Amino acid sequence: MLEVLSTRELAPVDRLDYWNELIASTYTGMVVDAPRDRFDARLTVWQMGTLRMVRPYSRAAVISRHAERHTRPTDQTLVAHLLTRGVARLEQRGRTVDLTEGDMVLCAAEEFYRFDTSTTHEMMVVEFDRRTLAERMPNIDDFVAKRISGQLPSTRLAHRYMSSLWQEAPETLPDAHWQMHAGILGDIIASCIEGSGEVTEAPSHFLLTRAEAVILERIGDPDLTPSVLAKSLGVPLRTLQAAAASTGTTPSALIMRRRLHRAARRLVSEPGAGVTTIAMECGFADPAHFARRFQQHFGTTPSHYRRMN
């Protein structure tokens, strides 16, 4: 079952209060703080078998959730947040985690946490019974509130699989089929969490985090090449190439992936914008080149992708 909640039809002055009432009734202890005159949000909720997937979108805001002290650790819900747009900072268990597009982080839902999003942002969120992940990974608590790089092959796989599931959400399938997909998704997320430990602690992680920030700042610049990116970071190109290789990618692929995913999000969120305009504003000087790369990456044309989302 797919449910979409939005503030779009409300007067701007009423949106934040409405959203806080709505969120508090859905997620105990959650509060949203944002500029009242500019706030806008949307929440898509999909119950897939026994698994709940959520897709929140909002303009810049601070989202906090207070602890539920009566909840036993064995009854906890663990929530995987995959950031698909913008940047965010998470605070939980005394840790501070900076996230860029494509990164994932695991939160303990019944403990205090806080997301500070200084930009418009969107996430894909999956809620798990803690025991479900603990069966796969007995040390799952070691990974709570730790950044899982969006450049890991397993995280990219999780992103693609979740995106594919969302595209099929309106379709009618037997509950048993959705439950099988829920199990597959749990295995994929567990694998990318488990495989992230050594990589996220490596020195290359910090360089790639900085590289991601530069790419996002200059996403519309068609002259942003690996050499220009390395120069902006103050490192030799070979150093940047080695850092990217440690996560199974290249600087060119980092830049291209960011451009394509930014374009894909805009195709959906800005239905009135032309495909060529979006391509150029995402750093593609040639619309035909954009269309080819988009189809290679997403398996469909930009126009068809827009219609399906």
Cα(298)–Cα(144) distance, integer angstroms: 30
Render pLDDT for 254-271 as a digit per residue (tens, 0 to 9): 999 889 988 988 888 788
What pLDDT is recorded for position 72? 55
Neighbours of 234 (CB within 10 A): 8
Mean pLDDT of the chain, nearest integer: 85
Residue 296: is its pLDDT beyond 50?
A: yes
Closest CA to 90 of 77, 102, 99: 99
Range scoring the smallest mean pLDDT among 46-50, 117-121, 146-150: 46-50
The pLDDT of residue 74 is 55
Of residues 309, 251, 258, 306, the one with CA closest to residue 282: 258
pLDDT of residue 288: 94
- Domain range for 6: 2-200
pLDDT for the residue numbered 100: 84
Q: 90 with 233, same domain?
A: no
Confidence (pLDDT) at 69 = 57
Provide the pLDDT for residue 201: 47
Least confident of 74-78, 93-97, 194-198, 295-299: 194-198
Res 207 pLDDT > 60 = yes
Same domain, 12 and 72: yes
Torsion of CA 244, 205, 214, 92, to 10 degrees: 140
Q: Which of 142, 168, 200 finishes a domain?
A: 200
Q: Are residues 235 and 182 in the same domain?
A: no
Mean pLDDT score, 207-216 = 84
Tell whether the model's pLDDT for residue 175 goes beyond 90.
no
Helix (H) or strand (E) holding 240: helix 237-245
Work out the pLDDT band at 294, boundaries 50, 70, 90: very high
Q: Range with the lowest mean pLDDT among 17-21, 82-86, 251-255, 281-285? A: 82-86
Reported pTM: 0.69
Handedness of CA 278, 232, 152, 295 (dihedral sign): positive
Cα–Cα dist 6/222, whole Å: 35
Q: 130 and 23 in one domain? A: yes
* 143, 238: one domain: no
What sign results for the dihedral spanned by CA atoms 97, 103, 108, 112? positive
Whether 76 and 117 map to the same domain: the answer is yes
Say which residue, 87 or 17, is predicted with more confidence.
17
Q: pLDDT of 58-111, one tens digit each?
A: 988 999 988 765 555 556 889 999 998 888 899 998 888 888 888 999 999 888
Average pLDDT over residues 136-162: 85
Amino acid at 239: T
Of 164, 185, 200, which residue is a domain's last?
A: 200
